[in-house]
A and B are shown apart, each in its own frame.
Chain A
Amino acid sequence: DAKTTQPNSMESNEEEPVHLPCNHSTISGTDYIHWYRQLPSQGPEYVIHGLTSNVNNRMASLAIAEDRKSSTLILHRATLRDAAVYYCILRDVVTGANNLFFGTGTRLTVIP
């Protein structure tokens, strides 16, 4: 299964943009790139997903490299509520591959 690698931790000042990178060099053509985040003692929360084109929603933007081997989650203005562990995950849309691999994720600290 294609895996993802992310930095273990990142810091950001409040109200500044945050760019969270993810490498997925073994991504296949049918893998969607999904991002979720998990606050302490809660289940993960869906953030955004995409296949090839950059995506925007009310929570964040997703920038996908042209070769799709990496992507970046962009939080345009970090708030204290954005402090969480962010997971980048690949999902095969042909098989709906069930064994989603949650790597260690990136723990984002937002500094007031």
Chain B
Amino acid sequence: GAVVSQHPSRVICKSGTSVKIECRSLDFQATTMFWYRQFPKKSLMLMATSNEGSKATYEQGVEKDKFLINHASLTLSTLTVTSAHPEDSSFYICSARGQTFDSPLHFGNGTRLTVT
């Protein structure tokens, strides 16, 4: 089945530094990828949608300058948390959709970010 690889699975960084999270579709071309964050015991919240070759679309309340998204190829999207602060600590998850709108979403295994 389709596989989405997310890296790193866990990262600890100091306040003020930037962290890059990669999301790769391993065996299919993902024209659209989605980025979510999830707080403990809570549901997933969509942060942004990235389409290959164009600018990401951010959900209301998500700072685009803080959460930089790049989708440079059909198999790779990256999320960079810039100038991270402790309140950015969360579980970040990416997902990718295949070529058609009714294709199931395939999720990465998430990245646990801890900002100290």
Contact = CB atoms under 8 A, between A and B. Distances in A.
Interface string B92-114: 01110100111011111110100
Contacts, number: 63
B101 A91 contact: yes
Interface residues of B, number: 28
Contacts of B26: none
A43 B46 contact: no
B110 A43 contact: yes
Contacts of B67: none
The size bracket of the interface on A is: 20 to 34
Nearest to B97: A96
Interface of B: 4, 6, 32, 34, 36, 43-46, 49, 57, 59, 91, 93-95, 97, 100-102, 104-110, 112
Interface of A: 32, 34, 36, 41-46, 49, 51, 87, 91-96, 98-100, 102-105
